[in-house]
Chain A
Amino acid sequence: MTIDIQANSIELGETIIKIDGLNKWYGQFHVLKDINLDVKRGERIVICGPSGSGKSTLIRCINRLEVHQEGSIVVDGILLTEDTKHINDVRREVGMVFQHFNLFPHLTVLENCTLALIWVRKMPKKEAEEIAMRYLERVKIPEQSQKYPGQLSGGQQQRVAIARSLCMNPRVMLFDEPTSALDPEMISEVLDVMVGLAEDGMTMLCVTHEMGFARKVANRVIFMDEGQIVEQNEPEAFFNHPQNDRTRLFLSQILQH
């Protein structure tokens, strides 16, 4: 498959995530079936599909929030096993943004951002705060740094969550439905930040139903159903000429309004 890189794009690099023959069960339920996926450095992948299709589970396997039973996942040269050291090494390189933000409510915005820098990266507090402020400026809320998450709007909270991840200087960012819990008026402020990240060449895997975002930013769209990858293609081809009838049905349902 040739990847059509859009005007503002960056050369794609070597493979950063390699998933081979991935299978996962929840008890008897076979939630991921024979997933193979290679992600190159700088790639922006949007994963869509009906609920229960396994798309969130897939990206949660990449930083081992979910444990898989078969197959292999290699992130930046590190094979994910039960070894806690490997797991923490991978988590250091992979940032994650959640649907419900999951900010730490007992810490200020600034402390949310500096905690992992200080205790995982062993950085002095002052230096950590400088980095945190830099990323809070980047998501355009440096003035909220002394507030608690509960005092912010949903959109602001999600931007803090993005900044918190970026502070760790990750090589890959995972987004698990980052705008699904937001009021309509706040979705664009979060998407704007994500577009900015894509423009800077961040490797991104994004589970989302924001098809406008997918068209604008993704260089690959993956459609999943029943724990399998049904179809993947560059956005233009994916939206205009879906190859699989399951994909067509899904697109016709989400795009008809």
Chain B
Amino acid sequence: MIDDLKTFTTLPDRAPPGSEIGLIAWIRQNLFGSAGSSITTLILVFLFLMYLPPFVEWALINANWVGNERSICDANKAGACWAFIGVRMDQILFGLYFGANPDQVWRPVTIFIIFFTLLIPLMIDKTPRKDILGILLLLVFPALFYVLIYGGVFGIPVADTTQWGGFLLTFALAFIGILFALPIGILLALGRRSEMPVIRAICVTYIEFWRGTPLITILFMASVMLPLFFPAGVDFDKVVRAMIGITLFQSAYTAEAVRGGLSAIPKGQYEAAMALGLGYWKRTIFIILPQGLKISIPAIVNTFIALFKDTSLVSIIGLLDLLNMAQTASRSLEWNGYDIEGYLFAGFIFWMFCFGMSRYSQNLERKLDTDRRN
């Protein structure tokens, strides 16, 4: 009977009850949700109030910000001696050569300006022609770096690599390490999943060997043992040796990070690509790697952050990176005793770059997440 049919109607949406929204509700739910939670909150607030104000007082309020001599800092021991960092800034950031030759500091400054000019547009979504920017950054920039920092051409005085140091060295080691380790790591990860047993065996051996050796050992070997394998007179540059050691080590870690992403791709993706007639390399480049690398981003960035900080280990072969240069400066005759300021400053620079990498990777993950419905 048509007359008996009922019509389905949707009920209107109602707002959630008041206890679920607003600041008070958030505090009640998250900070004082239970007895345990309330106690933890109170203890943390107490510790915070006890230790933070004295630190702020020392580091900011009472600090000695300006001045050229330690006598200013010695007169006011209640505050941090940032004047020391100011005086030795060039040395800590750019190494001994540029620390001693202030008229040459424009070289590293220019190189970093170029670096960020290329990098920042690459991180913004709407930039056109990112491919050209990317090529400039990955291929042209390293050459420019060498020309400008090493010098010896166009009348620029030579800054020998033995004189490279500070953040400049940290940056150079990490940049080259990342630049070479990523493609080598991707190839190793693909090789480890290859159907050809010989290729697989080579990749597994490589990865397991370098992953099983501490970086400090590799750097030591690169410095002390490498020369033994070459005839006398053939002398590799110390910085180049460190770069090679770091790349060998880092590529094994990157390979494992990438492999994790590759193995998360469902078999159906390979099959669909094969069924369309795409060969191995086209399948890999267009279907497998874009998805695999997306999944691997957190793991890859994690290894890059670790690498960035591990560059400090080059002190074992007598190179002074950011951390070691800060330490050297704070042990100089003029500023002996202001270690804490040196370490804090080096730590802050490390943190800024690592935090930047971490945030960018989160941003990238969000952007590449095509599964969300909107």
Answer whether residue B187 sits at the interface, using C-beta atoms and an 8 A cutoff: no
Q: Which residues of chain B are near A65, meaning CB under 8 Å?
A: 271, 274-275
- The segment out of A13-21, A114-122, A199-207, A240-248 that lies at the interface is A114-122
A102-B268 in contact (CB<8A): yes
Of all chain B residues, the one with the shortest Cβ separation from A85 is: B279
- Whether A106 and B374, one on each chain, are in contact in the complex, defined by CB atoms closer than 8 angstroms, is no
A116 near B268 (CB under 8 angstroms)? no
Q: Identify which of A91-99, A131-139, A186-194, A217-225 touches chain B.
A: A91-99
The reply to whether A120 and B272 contact each other, CB–CB distance below 8 Å, is no
In the complex, which residue of chain B has the Cβ closest to the Cβ of A117? B276
A116 near B374: Cβ-Cβ < 8 Å: no
Chain A nearest CB, measured from B268 CB (Å): 4
In the bound complex, do residue A91 and residue B275 qualify as a contact, i.e. CB atoms below 8 Å apart? yes
Contact, CB under 8 Å: B272 / A98? yes
CA distance A91 to B287 in the complex (A): 17
Q: Within 8 Å of chain A (Cβ to Cβ): is B33?
A: no
A120–B271 CB distance below 8 A: no
In the complex, the answer to whether B278 meets A116 with C-beta atoms within 8 Å is yes
Tell me the nearest residue of chain B to A94, going by C-beta. Answer: B275
Q: Are B274 and A116 in contact (CB under 8 A)?
A: no
> In the complex, which residue of chain B has the Cβ closest to the Cβ of A149?
B370
Chain A proximity of B274: nearest CB distance (Å): 6
Report the minimal beta-carbon distance from B270 to chain A, rounded to whole angstroms: 9
Q: Which of the four size classes fits the interface of chain A?
A: 20 to 34
B275-294 interface code vs A (CB 8 A; 1 in, 0 out)? 11111001000110011001
List A143-157 residues whose CB lies under 8 Å from chain B.
148-151
A164 at the interface (CB under 8 A from B): yes
A26 within 8 A of B: no
Q: Is the CB of A96 within 8 A of B277?
A: no
B373 within 8 A of A: yes
> Is B269 in contact with chain A by the CB < 8 A criterion?
yes
Residue B364 is within 8 A (CB to CB) of chain A in the complex: no
B277:A92 contact, CB within 8 angstroms: yes
B268–A98 touching, CB < 8 Å = yes
CA distance A94 to B275 in the complex (A): 8
Do A116 and B277 touch across chains, with their CB atoms under 8 A apart?
yes
Closest to B271 in A: A65
Please state if B372 and A106 are interface contacts (CB–CB under 8 Å).
no
Question: Are the C-beta atoms of A105 and B291 separated by less than 8 Å?
Answer: yes
Question: How far is it, in angstroms, between the C-alpha of A100 and the C-alpha of B287 when the chains are bound?
Answer: 17
Q: Is the interface of B mostly helix, strand, loop or mixed?
A: helix
B162 to chain A, nearest CB (A): 47
CA gap between A100 and B268 in the complex, in Å:
8
Q: Once the chains bind, are B286 and A119 in contact (CB under 8 Å)?
A: yes
Are the C-beta atoms of A151 and B294 separated by less than 8 Å? Answer: no
Neighbouring A residues of B60 by C-beta, 8 Å: none
Tell me if A110 counts as interface (CB < 8 A to partner B). no
With a CB–CB cut-off of 8 A, which chain A residues contact B272?
A: 96, 98, 102-104, 161
Q: How far is the CA of A98 from the CA of B294 in the complex (A)?
A: 24
The answer to whether B370 touches A150, judged by C-beta atoms less than 8 angstroms apart, is: yes
B131: CB under 8 A from chain A? no
Pick the residue among A98, A106, A151, A168 that contacts B277 (CB under 8 A): A168
Q: Produce 1/0 per residue, A38-58, CB < 8 A to B.
A: 000000000000000000000
Given A100-B268, A115-B286, A105 and B276 touching (CB < 8 A)? no
> Is B4 an interface residue when CB atoms closer than 8 A count as contact?
no
B368 at the interface (CB under 8 A from A): yes
Which residue from chain B places its CB closest to the CB of A120 in the assembled complex? Answer: B277
- Beyond A91-B277, A120-B278, whether A151 also contacts B373 by CB under 8 A is yes
Given the known interface contacts A105-B291, A106-B290, the answer about A148 and B278 at a Cβ–Cβ threshold of 8 Å is no
The answer to whether B371 has its CB under 8 Å from any CB of chain A is: yes
Q: Which of B274, B290, B291, B372 has the most CB of A within 10 A?
A: B274
- Min distance, Cβ B296 to any Cβ of chain A, angstroms: 13
| Bound CA span A106–B271, Å | 16
Give chain B residues whose Cβ lies under 8 Å from the Cβ of A103.
272
Pairwise interchain contact B277-A105, C-beta atoms closer than 8 A: no
Point out the residues of chain A lying under 8 angstroms from B274, CB to CB: 63, 65, 91
A115 with B268: CB separation less than 8 A: no
The reply to whether A150 and B271 contact each other, CB–CB distance below 8 Å, is no
User: Quick one: closest A residue to B294, CB to CB?
Assistant: A106
Measured CB to CB, the nearest residue on chain B to A168 is B276
Tell whether, in the assembled complex, residue B269 and residue A102 are in contact, meaning their CB atoms are under 8 Å apart: yes
A164 vs B273: C-alpha distance in the bound complex, in angstroms? 11
A222 to chain B, nearest CB (A): 21
Alpha-carbon distance A103/B271, docked complex (angstroms)? 11
Q: Which of A84, A95, A106 contacts B370 (CB 8 A)?
A: A106
- Identify A106's interface contact among B276, B278, B282, B291, CB under 8 A: B291
Q: A88-B277, A105-B291, A120-B277 are in contact. List 19 more A-B contacts (CB 8 A).
A: A88-B279, A92-B277, A94-B275, A95-B275, A98-B268, A98-B271, A98-B272, A102-B271, A103-B272, A104-B269, A104-B272, A106-B370, A116-B276, A116-B277, A119-B282, A120-B276, A148-B370, A148-B371, A168-B276
Nearest 9 interchain pairs by C-beta: A102-B272, A102-B268, A116-B276, A150-B371, A148-B370, A91-B277, A96-B275, A92-B277, A120-B277
Chain B positions within 8 Å of A, measured between CB atoms, are 266, 268-269, 271-279, 282, 286-287, 290-291, 294, 368, 370-374
Q: Please give the residue numbers on chain A whose beta carbons come within 8 Å of chain B beta carbons, in ascending order.
A: 63, 65, 84, 88, 91-92, 94-96, 98, 100, 102-106, 115-116, 119-120, 148-151, 161, 164-165, 168
16 contacts between A and B (CB under 8 A): A65-B275, A88-B277, A95-B275, A102-B266, A104-B269, A104-B291, A105-B370, A105-B371, A106-B294, A115-B276, A115-B286, A116-B276, A148-B371, A149-B370, A151-B374, A165-B276
